[in-house]
A and B are shown apart, each in its own frame.
Chain A
Amino acid sequence: MRKQSIEKGALGKVYQDGEFITRQGDVGQVMYVVQQGKVEVLMEKEGHETLLRVAGEGEFLGEMAIFDHEVRSASLRAKGEVKVLTIDKKNFLKRIHIDPSLAFRIVQTMSQRVRELGDEVARLKG
């Protein structure tokens, strides 16, 4: 069987360590699914970076762009070599009109993030 390192031949796009996948403020027309490696989710403000979290294999990122018309709220940066697959907003929305259950996992991801944010707010207040 194939080795587990990142293959240039298989699916997705390979980003090198430190390379930005998308930047905060960009207009988002896709969301991302991490295929291999780790991705940093960062907030950038006045030259300062705040690391929000590190996402791993199978995680959805940038999913808010699918549902709202706002610009990207965070930047995504490769931590080591990573491979990422994009899902087009237009195709995805078309498909969930026919099969709404396709959005289930993304809704699940979003609800988990809301939970995590709630915990974080509670921690900061406490």
Chain B
Amino acid sequence: MADSNPPSRQDQLELVDGSRVAVIGGGPAGSFTSYFLLEMAERADLDIEVEIYEPRDFSCPAPGGCNMCGGIISETLVQNLAAEGINLPDTVVQRGIESYVLHMDVGMVRIETPVDEKRIAAVYRGAGPRDIQVRKWGSFDHHLEGLAEARGAKVTRGRVMEISMDNGRPSISVKGGEPQAYDLLVAAVGVNSPALKLFKELDFGYQPPETTKTFIREYFLGEEVIAEILGDSMHVFLLNIPRLEFAAIIPKGDYASVCLLGEAIDKDLVDAFLSSDEVRGCMPDDWAPDPRSCQCSPKIAVKGAIQPYGDRIVFVGDCGVTRLYKDGIGAAYKTAKACATTAVFEGVSEDAFRRHYAPILKTILRDNAIGKVTFSATKLVQMMPFARRAMLRMTQKEQSIPGRHKDISQVLWDMFTGSAAYMEIFTRAIHPRFLGRLSWELLAAVAPGKRSQP
């Protein structure tokens, strides 16, 4: 006999006409998810409502409007977005990056882009540092939020304070507001939000990612000085400073962003980096670490979240799974896209997310495991002066001898830009030609008297 009370289509774990989706967080992951949900829904002739909750006004300068990051949009992401029809305008891109300069105690080398073109963008996530005088460029996050809005997403300026599950449906409220029920809740709150606690309390097994503290500081130098001193190059430092994993100076329009990743970054580490000869050598002669324009110590995820999905709830971007130390915005795009495709075409059940969304997260996690090995190798180089000399010589030769295979240059380019998967970098680094040349340079560096061209 037929069920006298069949579940309505709305009760089934899928999105149907009239379904409502709440996206908590309007950073890249939240805006990309909203954008792609609405785009996919339109393609599938589905009429859904998407509401983004975001307390920050990204058009404001200073930390209040900023999602704290180095602001490099990777080469792969720039291309993927262009293929999606999302082109980053000059009003948002402060600088197109065309080369990386590697600074070490044994010398420096410039690695030019393998293509004769600028495909890496340096942006500000908000409207700029605390002391900004003239606003010449707009915010990247504001731009993405605007794209989602133009697709039909509604933006509510508010911080979500309460989250609950009522009769299997997520319900959320902002401070002083009435609870609102939704058919799907997309969490895109990053790893710097107290809201992560609210999700843990929902008891479906979610555990936020493990994190570590990082450091960013902005210096005003002015457009002309930046062009003359730093140029369109990202400056990367491989220095033997304990606990320092990665350090970069990124030229923006009028400012330079100093970005440090490592273990328990504190004042001593920052001072040691800023006062190093290598940093002083690439900043203007009269430059001093103070006064600074703005600084922050955001967290970065070093492991993925546990159980980042359930019935009618899914985590995208940093609060779910992201790439280790690189291209976090690229990972936000990939997870957002996979989440939107799953929700529109496969449903919003835990099972649908496990079958169609989790594989994308697993690919990123597996690649991060290889990334850890790659970073350990970099650490070894950081500690051994002869290895630094060998790396420098091999790169210098590749960059200066026309027609020479760009073995180490490509590995370093991919490593610094975050463009390629760690697996790809690893595969290149174990190529016999690469290993042969590196071994030769290592020998030459250990016994510097006996150098000749390999």
- B80, B88, B116, B136: which contacts A11 (Cβ < 8 A)? B88
Say yes or no: B337 contacts A99, CB within 8 Å.
Answer: yes
Tell whether A11 pairs with B121 under 8 Å between CB atoms, given A2-B91, A87-B83, A105-B84: yes
Contacts of B93 in A (CB 8 A): 9-11
Contacts of A43 in B (CB 8 A): none
Q: Does B328 contact A (CB under 8 A)?
A: no
Smallest CB-CB separation from B231: which chain A residue? A9
Classify chain A: how many residues form its interface, as a range. 20 to 34
Say yes or no: A85 contacts B138, CB within 8 Å.
Answer: no
Say yes or no: B96 contacts A101, CB within 8 Å.
Answer: no
Chain A residues 48 to 78 lying within 8 A of chain B, measured CB to CB, are: 57-58
Contacts of A102 in B (CB 8 A): 80, 83-84
Q: Which residues of B contact A (CB under 8 A)?
A: 40, 43, 76, 78-80, 82-85, 87-88, 90-91, 93-96, 115-119, 121, 135-138, 232, 334, 337-338, 341, 360, 363
Say yes or no: A88 contacts B79, CB within 8 Å.
Answer: yes
Smallest CB-CB separation from A83: which chain B residue? B90
Instruction: Provide 8 A-B residue pairs closer than 8 Å at the C-beta atoms, listed in order of the A residue.
Output: A1-B135, A1-B138, A9-B94, A9-B118, A9-B232, A13-B116, A58-B85, A86-B119
Contacts of B40 in A (CB 8 A): 101
Chain A residues 1 to 57 lying within 8 A of chain B, measured CB to CB, are: 1-2, 4, 7, 9-13, 33, 35-36, 57
- A1, A86, A99: which contacts B117 (Cβ < 8 A)? A86
- B87, B116, B341: which contacts A33 (Cβ < 8 A)? B87
Say yes or no: A86 contacts B87, CB within 8 Å.
Answer: no
Say yes or no: B116 contacts A1, CB within 8 Å.
Answer: no
CA–CA, A6 and B175, complex, Å: 45
Give the most central of B80, B82, B88, B338: most A CB within 10 Å: B82
A88 CB, min distance to chain B CBs, angstroms: 7
Smallest CB-CB separation from B82: which chain A residue? A33
Say yes or no: A104 contacts B43, CB within 8 Å.
Answer: yes
Smallest CB-CB separation from B421: which chain A residue? A94
Q: Does A110 contact B (CB under 8 A)?
A: no
A126 CB, min distance to chain B CBs, angstroms: 34
Say yes or no: A9 contacts B116, CB within 8 Å.
Answer: no
Give the most central of B83, B88, B93, B94: most A CB within 10 Å: B83
Say yes or no: B78 contacts A105, CB within 8 Å.
Answer: no
Contacts of A87 in B (CB 8 A): 79, 82-83
Contacts of A106 in B (CB 8 A): 83
CA–CA, A4 and B78, complex, Å: 20
B202 CB, min distance to chain A CBs, angstroms: 29
Contacts of B137 in A (CB 8 A): 1-2
Contacts of A88 in B (CB 8 A): 79, 115
Tell whether A13 pairs with B95 under 8 Å between CB atoms, given A95-B80, A99-B338, A105-B85: no
Say yes or no: B115 contacts A9, CB within 8 Å.
Answer: no
Contacts of A91 in B (CB 8 A): 76, 79
Say yes or no: B91 contacts A9, CB within 8 Å.
Answer: no
Contacts of B121 in A (CB 8 A): 10-11
Interface string of A92-124 (1 = CB under 8 A from B): 100100110111111000000000000000000
Contacts of A105 in B (CB 8 A): 83-85
A54 CB, min distance to chain B CBs, angstroms: 18
CA–CA, A13 and B119, complex, Å: 9
Say yes or no: A13 contacts B360, CB within 8 Å.
Answer: no
Say yes or no: A9 contacts B96, CB within 8 Å.
Answer: yes
Say yes or no: B118 contacts A11, CB within 8 Å.
Answer: yes
Say yes or no: A1 contacts B80, CB within 8 Å.
Answer: no
Say yes or no: A1 contacts B78, CB within 8 Å.
Answer: no
9 smallest CB-CB distances across A and B, nearest first, come from A13-B117, A10-B90, A10-B93, A33-B82, A87-B79, A7-B90, A11-B96, A10-B96, A2-B91
CA–CA, A102 and B334, complex, Å: 11
Smallest CB-CB separation from A4: which chain B residue? B90
Contacts of A57 in B (CB 8 A): 87
A38 CB, min distance to chain B CBs, angstroms: 15
